[in-house]
Structure 1
Amino acid sequence: MSVLKITDVSKIFAGPTVAVDNFSLEVGDGELVCLLGPSGSGKSTLLRMVGGFERPTSGLMTIDGDDITQLPPERRPTGMVFQSHALWTHMNVFKNLAFGLKLRGLPKEQITEKVEAVLELVGLAGYGTRGVNQLSGGQQQRVALARSLVLEPKILLLDEPFASLDQHLRERLREEVRDIQQRLKITTLFVTHGQDEALAMADRIVVMRDGRTEQIDRPDVVYREPQTPFVAGFIGTMNLIEGEVSKGRFARADFRIDIPIPDGPATLAIRPEALDLEAAEAGVAQVHRVTDYGTHGLVDLDLGDGTRLKAMVAHPDLFSEGQKVNLKPQAMAAYRDNARVYRS
């Protein structure tokens, strides 16, 4: 059993700059939790505190009930994989992986056995004698992962490990890492600013903003039921429409729709895939651009006041620039005072 518990942790840098603000989270045994947020949200600072590379200003961090808050990195049962790989270029692959095991005083035979096993695990069997500079970016990242795993940490920490790789390699590696994590059942905390990575890999997503938690939920819940306008706008593509509600009717430009909430300002949120279009000579929106992606089309729309919306359509050939359409949301949510007040 390996459980990471973070309780009321804050990190304040000189300035003062509050990087992490009273943050709490429990990562269950074998769970992969993703910290997701824009640059400056505090996610990497938090991960570095768990790894021991930053000290929290206040709060408590435990692994299996043991206090690790003030321990140095080498005394923590954690393994960290960095975006930059952080491999030693003067050593071959085997020596990179064996270094930590040698520091622990393991016999040569056991070191060799462990290194060969972890290389096979990450798909690099037979690469031990290769120089680091002889490897591709994806192979280097596999070595970085293997170097952490060979030490058999209780908690695996991943700090945007795929950020420097091209899209196809990134997608392949995230699938491989998820498979390895599930096979080993290793508790993992993963930092990314990529929504696709978080949605594809995580058991739960922690959406962070300004050092605080905006929402913690399963990926499908975060996507379909965002609790705040920030989460709604940050996860996936979302049409966020500012308007006014009067007598149970939301209005923005010529677009109006019934919403059973009290009068006042509100933000309407509609996913492009939930926004149906209907051609109409007196439509409330006008087609600005149509993009055909083969599997689907994306229609950019303008309301009368210039507000830009997007709709996903199955047949983009049915729409053209300048065409007037009416909007028919199939699902939507409304927000007020940074909280969701309506969902259909």
Structure 2
Amino acid sequence: MARLTIKEISKAFGASFAVRDFSLDVDDGELVCLLGPSGSGKSTLLRMIGGFERPSAGSILIDAKDVTTLAPEKRPTGMVFQSHALWTHMDVFNNIAFGLKIRRLPKPEIRQRVESALALVGLSNYGKRMTTQLSGGQQQRVALARSLVLEPKILLLDEPFASLDQHLRERLREEVRDIQQRLGITTLFVTHGQDEALALADRIVVMRDGGTEQIAPPDLIYREPKTEFVAGFIGSMNFVRVKIRNGIIEHPDFSLAVPVADGDLMLAFRPEALSLRPSKKSGAGIVHRSIDFGTHRIVDIDLADGTRLKVMTPPDVDWTRGSLVEPVANAYFAFRENKLVHRSAAAGELQTDRMLGHV
């Protein structure tokens, strides 16, 4: 379909930057998720790609053609907003047909393309309904159809499922991924939901303060976070601040050899990379609570230094509140000044099918 190239894009509002020196290449047919907390610049970046914001610097190219200064209607892009932005005085058919009418296409072609778009999003018999008669999920399907009917080269999705309940959100994201793969359309998807990014993306761009923390496929983002921020933002992660002396951690609960220079260090453990065993020693961890999720338990442990750990355990073993336990680290990441400086060999073998079970 199309290739998107973003070169050193910046957007300033007064003296502050929403996006600064951002660059990205999106391949033909690829789905890339822009993931980050509120205020990280991801929606501003998407609006610049769609032409709704003018960059302060940098350029945007689609199939090697510079579209940086083009108006939204002159770009080969289609954008789906979080708010749906449907016209309530029009029925579903005319909402979807609006852009085609602006292009002055023949009525038979408009009808054929609208009906095809409705079928694509599973709303074949909804053309005559008013948008106020639709559920939130159906309205979002209409918004998607309205973008797809224009046959854009680039599809832009700005947190389209944020207002929907969890089950509907999960179902719609699966449908969107199926449609995207079936059409082979190049897509950028903005979200602050890590589960959406992990489930949808070919690659994830983790954004922070208008810049990029890491760009990688979902499995690498989870297994090999390059910064402490990424490690804490993707999935559930335990952090323990320690000191290293002669390559050994000085911490009463973890006896690990970490081959890095002496000094302060932040250790990070996934809940599934920790295990528990009963303990009788003074200063051992104390079970705060144990939550049964059916497939596994999450046990909260309070350490003597005030740190609370989350540990994933088998569901058939309950841990009594107040009991003494010793956490055992089977894999870990080590960060210094937000940068990954070491990870244990086993850290790359964490099971991705358990990623979302402990959020």
Query: TM-score with structure 2 length normalisation?
Result: 0.94
Spell out the pairing of 1:172-321 with structure 2 (5 A cutoff). Answer: 172-282=171-281, 284-315=284-315, 317-321=317-321
Q: Deviations over 1:175-218 (max 9, x none)?
A: 00000000000000000000000000000000000000000000
Q: Contact between 1:261 and 1:341, CA under 8 Å: does it hold in 2?
A: yes
- Is 2:19 the partner of 1:24? no
Greater displacement, 314-323 / 125-134: 314-323
Q: Counterparts in 2 of 1:103-142, with a 5 A limit?
A: 103-142=102-141
Deviation string 1:284-314 (CA, Å, 9 cap, x unpaired) is 3111111111111000001101111100001
Secondary structure in structure 2 of the residue aligned to 1:207: strand
Give the deviation of 1:59 after TM superposition. 0.2
Amino acid at match of 1:185: G
Aligned partner of 1:154: which letter? Answer: K
Question: What are the within-5 Å matches in structure 2 for residues 11-160 of structure 1?
Answer: 11-14=11-14, 16-160=15-159
- Contact (CA 8 Å) 2:253, 2:326: kept in 1 or not? no
Contact 1:81/1:144 (8 A) holds in 2: yes
For 1:99-148, what per-residue CA distance to the aligned partner results, in whole angstroms no more than 9, with x for missing partners? 11011111000000000001000000011000000000000000000000
What are structure 1's unaligned runs of at least 5 residues? none
8 A Cα contact 1:292 1:316, kept in partner: no
SS of aligned partner of 1:38: coil
SS in 1 for 2:108: helix
Instruction: Give me the whole-angstrom Cα distance separating, in 2, the residues matched to 1:333 and 1:297.
Output: 23
AA aligned to 1:11 is K
How far residue 255 of structure 1 moved from its aligned partner, in angstroms, is 3.4
Match of 1:10 in 2: 10
**8 A Cα contact 2:7 2:58, kept in partner:** yes
RMSD: 1.0
In structure 1, what is the Cα distance between the partners aligned to 2:253 and 2:220?
32
Tell me by how many angstroms 1:253 deviates.
4.8
Q: Could you say what secondary structure the match of 2:110 adopts?
A: helix
Is the 1:253–1:303 Cα contact (8 Å) retained in structure 2? no
Which string of whole-angstrom CA distances, capped at 9 and with x for unpartnered residues, describes residues 231-262 of structure 1? Answer: 00000100011111111112335433221211
- Contact 2:253 / 2:327 at 8 angstroms: preserved in 1? no
Q: What are the ranges of 5 or more consecutive residues in structure 2 without an aligned counterpart?
A: 345-359
Name the TM-score, length of structure 1 as normaliser: 0.98
CA–CA separation in structure 1 for the residues paired with 2:123 and 2:2: 27
Indicate if the aligned counterparts of 1:255 and 1:284 stay in contact, CA closer than 8 A: no
User: C-alpha distance in 1, partners of 2:267/2:335?
Assistant: 7
> What one-letter code is carried by the residue in structure 2 that aligns with 1:295?
T
The whole-number CA distance in structure 1 between the counterparts of 2:270 and 2:284 is 18
Answer whether contact 1:241 1:252 (CA < 8 A) is retained: no
Contact 1:253 1:305 in 2 (8 A): no
Residues matched between the structures, number: 343
CA contact (8 A) 2:294 2:315 kept: no
Structure 2 counterpart of 1:64, one-letter code = D
Alpha-carbon deviation of 1:316? 5.6
* Secondary structure at 1:230 match in 2: helix
